[in-house]
Amino acid sequence: MDDIDPSVQADDALRQIFESQWQGAPAVVLRSPPGAGKTGVAQRLALQSASLLGERCMIVTQTNEQAFDLARRLGANASSFPVHFYAREGLQLPDSVRHNSNIRIVHDFSALPQHPSITIGNAAKWSWIGTDEPMFDVQIVDEAFQLPDYRFQLIANLAPRHVLIGDPGQIDPFVTCEIERWRCDPAGPQVSSPAALVKRHPSVMQLALPVSRRLNTDTVSLVQPAFYPDMHFRAMSRDRQLGFRIAGVMPFDAALDAVAGGSKIVMVELPAQITGERDGEIADELVASIRRLLHRQPTMSDDGVVSSVTPDKIGVVCAHVSQVNAVRERMGSDLSEVFVETANRYQGIERPFMFVHHPLSGRADATAFHLDAGRLCVMLSRHRIACWIFGRQGIAQQLMRYAPLGDRALGIDDDPEYRGWRAHLTVMSWLANSGRLYPAVHGLSPSSGVRAAR
């Protein structure tokens, strides 16, 4: 399969997906690796449904931001008929949605279109419709693996056919209630909607996107075995490089130059120390590294387009809000366009360059939250060109000290804690074996272009 051109593989997969709708498949689960264009697939399926099949199509998103993004895309592409945005009264709509002449805002379900059309709304808004009769012909769920099954059951009756699109390697659905009574149910209400659907109906059509358009080949060689051991995918061959107009002369430049030399993911390690959740030294080192990157006047080639690297092309992702705040506190107004957020909020977002605060760094333990495979997967798959990980030395030894006990619920094959532990260990082993661990550099002065006054 690796001999086939990635673009041919991607086109073949898309053809299967679109044909499934012409064949009237009652349900399709589409698995996607990071950056494979799953939101674009949702958009094209909706256009096919409404414009070619003459259907009423509803799109379900998990957040308003995702709904805004889809509305903007479809508003620009579905010029032959209006796109309806199903929103609650009082929701602050961005100007790009509110002032788009091709987007019609609908607040009440009685005003939903009864003719071939596309209507977008988040799962919470859709769940307030009380009806026993289908109101649409097909339901497309974007980021479906973040939708717990109990919420899917509230809206599944709105259409007889369903397409569930999502990334199985990202963070599991967030459930606030106690789930102990459903722990032994592989299709329990807390399980992601695609996984629960497949457990209940094993014969449901399952497809996968085989190519990531965002991740480069070097990144895929880590992300695929660590987080998707049962789902093979490749990188789309693209020209993505980092270059510098100023040569590296500082010790930390080794980590920057390694990326310019082809190693797209590297790790910068500070001395081992138990710091707890908030680690000021890592925040210092991370922000100083961003400044050093920009000080060297970097250029980037992204799919053949060469441009200068500016702060808006850089992102920082952390596990905790306190770590996000620690990084933001150290950034001056010149770095205000660097996007700093938690892994949960980074889902569906990408940047050419990412700086990652390792979730296990500085901890005395390895809890289920910090071992979560989905969280680390999101952190290491947001970049298009390069990723620098920052953490304390000794994470691999920490993982060996806190190996999971292997406790499992009766009838459940999956062990999320072990899955996360294995993913973390795979990442650390890959970095060590490929020589991508670099020591952090301390004591650099502001005049060097690395440290800046807070």
In a domain, 442, yes or no: yes
Do 235 and 201 share a structural domain? no
Do 359 and 302 share a structural domain? yes
Do 251 and 328 share a structural domain? yes
In a domain, 279, yes or no: yes
Do 183 and 263 share a structural domain? no
Do 163 and 124 share a structural domain? yes
* Sequence-ordered strand ranges (E) for 195-272: 205-208, 211-212, 234-235, 240-244, 265-270
In a domain, 454, yes or no: no
**DSSP single-letter state for residue 410:** T
**Cβ-proximal residues to 169 (8 Å cutoff; 6+ apart), any chain:** 33, 34, 227, 228, 231, 373, 374, 377, 381
Do 291 and 232 share a structural domain? yes
Do 231 and 189 share a structural domain? no
Do 251 and 155 share a structural domain? no
In a domain, 25, yes or no: yes
Name the nearest CA neighbour of 350 among 307, 306, 302: 302
Q: Give the Cα separation of 135 and 118 in Å (integer).
A: 12
Do 87 and 54 share a structural domain? yes
* Domain endpoint, select from 165, 195, 211: 211
Report helix angle 280-295 to 253-260, nearest 10. Answer: 60
In a domain, 395, yes or no: yes
Sheet holding 265-270, edge to edge: 339-342, 314-318, 351-357, 383-392, 265-270, 437-439
What global pTM score does this model have?
0.89
Max CA pair span of the chain: 69
In a domain, 168, yes or no: yes
In a domain, 182, yes or no: yes
* 353: containing domain: 217-448
Q: What is the count of structural domains for the chain? A: 2
Per-residue pLDDT of the chain (454 residues; tens, 9 = 90+): 567 888 899 999 999 999 999 999 999 999 999 999 999 999 999 999 999 999 999 999 998 889 998 998 898 877 767 799 999 888 888 888 888 888 899 998 888 988 999 999 999 999 998 887 899 999 999 999 999 998 999 999 999 999 999 999 988 876 666 666 556 656 566 688 999 899 999 999 999 999 999 999 999 999 999 999 999 999 987 789 999 999 988 887 999 999 999 999 999 999 999 998 999 999 999 999 999 999 999 999 998 899 999 999 999 999 999 999 999 999 989 999 999 999 998 988 899 999 999 999 999 888 888 999 999 999 999 999 999 999 999 999 999 988 877 666 666 667 788 889 999 999 999 999 999 999 987 544 333 344 443 3
* Domain endpoint, select from 194, 211, 228: 211
In a domain, 67, yes or no: yes
* 3 state SS of 293: helix
Residue 296 belongs to domain with CATH number:
3.40.50.300
Do 251 and 191 share a structural domain? no
Q: What is the mean pLDDT of the chain?
A: 89
Other beta carbons within 10 Å of 201: 13
Q: Give the Cα separation of 119 and 71 in Å (integer).
A: 9
Do 288 and 185 share a structural domain? no
Q: Give the Cα separation of 374 and 319 in Å (integer).
A: 11
Burial of 397 (0-12, 13-18, 19+ CB in 10 A): exposed
* Domain endpoint, select from 211, 227, 262: 211
Say if CB 59 and CB 142 are below 8 A apart: yes
Do 255 and 188 share a structural domain? no
